[in-house]
Structure 1
Amino acid sequence: MRSTDPAGDAGGVRDPTPDTSTGTSDTPVRSAGSPADAGDDRQTVSFVTADTDPAPSGPPDPQADPDVVDLLEPADGVPPLVTDRTALSDAAAALGSGHGPVAVDAERASGYRYSARAYLVQLRREGAGTFLVDPIACGGDLGELGEALRGVEWVLHAASQDLACLAEVGMRPDSLFDTELAGRLVGYPRVGLGPLTEHLLGVRLQKGHGAADWSRRPLPADWLTYAALDVELLVELRDRVAADLDRQGKTAWAEQEFEAVRLAPPPPPRAEPWRRTSGVHKVRRPAALAVVRELWESRDELAAARDVAPGRLLPDAAIVDAALREPARRDELIAMPVFRGRAQRRLADRWWSAIERARALPRPRWPASAPAPDGPPPAHRWGDKDPAAAARLAAARAALAGLSERTGTPVENLVTPDVVRRLCWAPPPETPDAETTAATLTGLGARPWQAELTAPLLAEALLARPEEKDAQGSAG
């Protein structure tokens, strides 16, 4: 699935989708009047900032760029959908006999379904072609594909978004290349699949169905075209990004990052997932927070049973509204916005029962006003709580910002902000050195390349002390 590009045009920054040669025998279908070799002489760029953007006042208009051509159809056409075990076995045999890396993508139904299962899997490999596989029609087990691709490098864009749903259907890579993550390490200003393909290959992909309901059956023809195009040039894109990684001396960085993504365990369940309700910060009283919790949990239970996205049953805003307005009776609840709708009136008894359960809770069972701390406090409070830690954090941030400028890699990819905060909040050794700091960073989850690169700078930052107020200012 194509990732969104949270960095927009400002930079590829994260919080913490053909043959391996430079080309392929397939000739993409291009828009009328476009030169067939429009992208053959285009050079990759190692690092681009807003200052070097050809249109610094805003993102360049791809429609106005004569060097960017439209990819309207896969070179070999849209393949038939694989919907039975016989066709699945044929696909596995073809992909297994292909050569070079395999491009892999998956489409989910986020925003429509409760589950994060894959509703379509796309694969393309040189010598085999493109395959569109319906995991649902194939019984939810694509292990035959996974076995056929043992030892093969899988190329995904934003792999962390798709690996879990692929594993659920029996597909797990032995080797991985993530074009989005690699793009962040290189320092491209935009790392979504579309912008990267335009920037490096001079080709504009079809847009419009990334957020579609892929659980829909039958899948529309234009959706299948979109899905096939997502893997059409992915291996070629991989080669261009890999060349920039190599030129910048970052190949080893990328390999460690890819392996960390490939082997990452599922995230642990959140202690209080209901606290992620949008707008919950408006609710301050514990008794009202109990209402939010009961409504959220009741909605989540029903959403899981129906495999419907929770927000389609009851929006977060309605949950928060009910907690703040405190309706005294069921009639008052169904008179409120959202709750007065026809669908909500059918569920009114469920929502009202949740509110009544919350109000019946004894005070000791009310939720706390704020979640239990997990790690250091917010950085903006450090100045009051621990000025020495605040000084260490400020020095660390300044040092990492300089390193980011020198390497062309976003700070967040050099070492995650959480790791930096935890390092700076803890009391440092009396004489911090690079070796000790590197060991601490590794213990906090940093990769070896990150620890080796940043430890000398962060060890020095740990020596920072708060600025002393002058005596006259203090007396005043």
Structure 2
Amino acid sequence: MVPPPAGAPAARPPPPPPGGPAAAPPRPTGPVAVDTERASGYRYSQRAYLVQLRREGAGTVLVDPIALGGRLDPLVEALDGTEWVLHAASQDLPCLAELGLRPSVLFDTELAGRLAGFERVALGTLVERLLGYRLEKGHGAADWSRRPLPTDWLNYAALDVELLVELRDVLEQELKRQGKLEWALEEFEAARTAPLPRPRAEPWRRTSGIHRIRSPRQLAAVRALWEARDALARERDIAPGRVLPDSALVEAAVRNPSDEAALSALPVFRGRAQRRMVGVWLGALQRAAALTRTELPEPSQQHDGPPPANRWADKDPAAAARLAAARTALTAVAEANTLPVENLLLPDLVRRTCWQPPADISPEGVAAALREGGARNWQIALTATTLSEALAHQPT
């Protein structure tokens, strides 16, 4: 952390020194700032390799859950009933839950920044704008599974929670000033209680570059290679892209090499590590080649919900008209309330409602449909009437 520029507001000053030997030790009070460091891009798992905490009266604590075997029972007990302050909580809550750490009350500074209308809500940006300090950048994308962790990495991690509670207090006042604090509290509670994301039915279809694939047989090859890579990555706890990049999966599926020599001649597969694994990759390709036509994957993924919006005009012109009217109207509501439109109402919920409207498209009927879809009370109050009018829109 570097000092604020001249004329910038100062962060809260440090507490006064203890009053001498007879002074009582400080007691932890108030919210606790929480952050984690993972090893995304290096490890298969999304576990926390470091947990950072800071609380008034207790200072900053860095916890290594790996060294402790993931058993953090004393910490779970100490944090019970406290308000947690996180930035972009949805990124950290799943790996904290794996350690038994779940907040009783949550304040998300990134989400608060969005609701307050700030265009840029990265932690460093908000700290500099609202507190006048610049957080040094450096090791966010590092391999946090490394041991021992370098001192400068630990310093970087500690700074992520240094001013988080102060930032929370400033954002709370701003939300109060704008009349949005109750909205934010609903959002925080929704984030705190949100279920873990469901696994995708066909995650291999998200392979980068899969648009190059032209046939079901090639799709089967990508799927087989992806599944073989995923099994290896899971077993070794290595990020799949470090076992074999997506580009190599697609290239092998397109080229369809007939033997180990042909496969080893392809880019990436020429490397020493891939030459040792060539039998695994060729075996996957051969399994895909042996599938019957009925066993091949469909060319397009079956969507759980409406098709992509760019196809609506051909498939259902009335739905396309409803969606266009809804987007225009909701954008106006969002701008009037200085909100990102995606925070006003989830885009997926808007699409689903426009594709298949409720039988009752009155404001009351739409409000019930939105509530069933997970919308919060404040969102329903702002959008139900507007969306009701959009659902009545007819194509010209």
Counterpart residue type for residue 68 of structure 2: C
Cα distance in 1 between the residues matched to 2:124 and 2:52: 17
Q: Which residue of structure 2 aligns with residue 448 of structure 1? A: 377
Cα distance in 2 between the residues matched to 1:230 and 1:156: 10
Q: Deviation digits for residues 411-434 of structure 1, max 9, x if unmatched?
A: 0000011101111111454x6221
Residues 306, 352 of structure 2: 8 Å contact kept: yes
Q: Deviation digits for residues 108-127 of structure 1, max 9, x if unmatched?
A: 00000000000000000001
Alignment counterpart, residue 417 of structure 1, candidates 347, 355, 364: 347
The within-5 A match list for 1:462-473 is 462-467=391-396
Stretches of structure 2 lacking an aligned partner (at least 5 in a row): 16-24
Q: Which residue of structure 1 aligns with residue 286 of structure 2? A: 356
Alignment counterpart, residue 247 of structure 1, candidates 172, 177, 202: 177
Counterpart residue type for residue 340 of structure 1: R
Residues 114, 308 of structure 1: 8 Å contact kept: yes
Q: Which residue of structure 1 aligns with residue 224 of structure 2? A: 294
Q: Which residue of structure 1 aligns with residue 9 of structure 2? A: 39
Cα distance in 2 between the residues matched to 1:112 and 1:105: 19
Cα distance in 2 between the residues matched to 1:344 and 1:255: 51
The within-5 A match list for 1:340-379 is 340-379=270-309
Cα distance in 2 between the residues matched to 1:187 and 1:366: 48
Cα distance in 1 between the residues matched to 2:145 and 2:358: 52
Residues 333, 382 of structure 2: 8 Å contact kept: no
Counterpart residue type for residue 236 of structure 2: R
Q: 1:284 offset after TM fit, Å?
A: 2.2
Q: Deviation digits for residues 277-298 of structure 1, max 9, x if unmatched?
A: 1111211200010000010000
Cα distance in 2 between the residues matched to 1:288 and 1:30: 53
Q: Which residue of structure 2 aligns with residue 53 of structure 1? A: none
Counterpart residue type for residue 250 of structure 2: V
Q: Which residue of structure 1 aligns with residue 326 of structure 2? A: 396
Cα distance in 2 between the residues matched to 1:229 and 1:269: 33
Q: Which residue of structure 2 aligns with residue 435 of structure 1? A: 364
Q: Deviation digits for residues 378-429 of structure 1, max 9, x if unmatched?
A: 1111112111111111110011110111001000000011101111111454
Counterpart residue type for residue 361 of structure 2: P
The count of corresponding residues between Structure 1 and Structure 2 is 387
Q: Which residue of structure 1 aligns with residue 22 of structure 2? A: none
Residues 428, 462 of structure 1: 8 Å contact kept: no
Residues 291, 359 of structure 1: 8 Å contact kept: yes
The within-5 A match list for 1:42-441 is 97-429=27-359, 432-441=361-370
Higher relative contact order (CA 8 A, sep 6+): 1
Q: Deviation digits for residues 224-247 of structure 1, max 9, x if unmatched?
A: 010000000000001111111111
Using the size of structure 1 for normalisation, the TM-score is: 0.79
Q: 1:312 offset after TM fit, Å?
A: 0.2
| Cα gap change, 1:388 to 1:125, in 2 (>3 Å) | same
The structure 1 segments of at least 4 consecutive aligned residues displaced by more than 2 Å after TM superposition are: none
Q: What secondary structure does 2:171 align onto?
A: helix
Q: Which residue of structure 1 aligns with residue 20 of structure 2? A: none
Q: 1:30 offset after TM fit, Å?
A: 4.3
Counterpart residue type for residue 323 of structure 2: L
Q: Deviation digits for residues 431-472 of structure 1, max 9, x if unmatched?
A: 6221110100111121121112100100011111111xxxxx
Using the size of structure 2 for normalisation, the TM-score is: 0.94
Alignment counterpart, residue 387 of structure 2, candidates 447, 458, 461: 458
Cα distance in 2 between the residues matched to 1:267 and 1:379: 23
Cα distance in 2 between the residues matched to 1:399 and 1:461: 7
Counterpart residue type for residue 369 of structure 2: T
Cα distance in 2 between the residues matched to 1:205 and 1:342: 41
Residues 326, 391 of structure 2: 8 Å contact kept: yes
Q: What secondary structure does 2:30 align onto?
A: coil
Q: Percent identity?
A: 64
- Give the stretch that moved more between structures: 387-396 or 100-109: 387-396
Counterpart residue type for residue 332 of structure 2: G
Cα distance in 1 between the residues matched to 2:223 and 2:205: 8
Residues 146, 173 of structure 1: 8 Å contact kept: no
Residues 228, 281 of structure 2: 8 Å contact kept: yes
Q: Which residue of structure 1 aligns with residue 21 of structure 2? A: none
Q: Deviation digits for residues 329-369 of structure 1, max 9, x if unmatched?
A: 11100000000011111111111111111111111111110
Cα distance in 1 between the residues matched to 2:102 and 2:147: 26
Q: 1:38 offset after TM fit, Å?
A: 4.0
Q: What secondary structure does 1:203 align onto?
A: coil
Residues 338, 344 of structure 1: 8 Å contact kept: yes
| Cα gap change, 1:406 to 1:345, in 2 (>3 Å) | same
Q: 1:40 offset after TM fit, Å?
A: 3.7
RMSD of the TM alignment (CA)? 1.9
Q: What secondary structure does 1:132 align onto?
A: strand
Stretches of structure 1 lacking an aligned partner (at least 5 in a row): 1-28, 43-74, 77-93, 468-476
Cα distance in 2 between the residues matched to 1:249 and 1:153: 22
Q: 1:34 offset after TM fit, Å?
A: 6.1
Cα distance in 1 between the residues matched to 2:108 and 2:79: 17
| Cα gap change, 1:167 to 1:427, in 2 (>3 Å) | closer
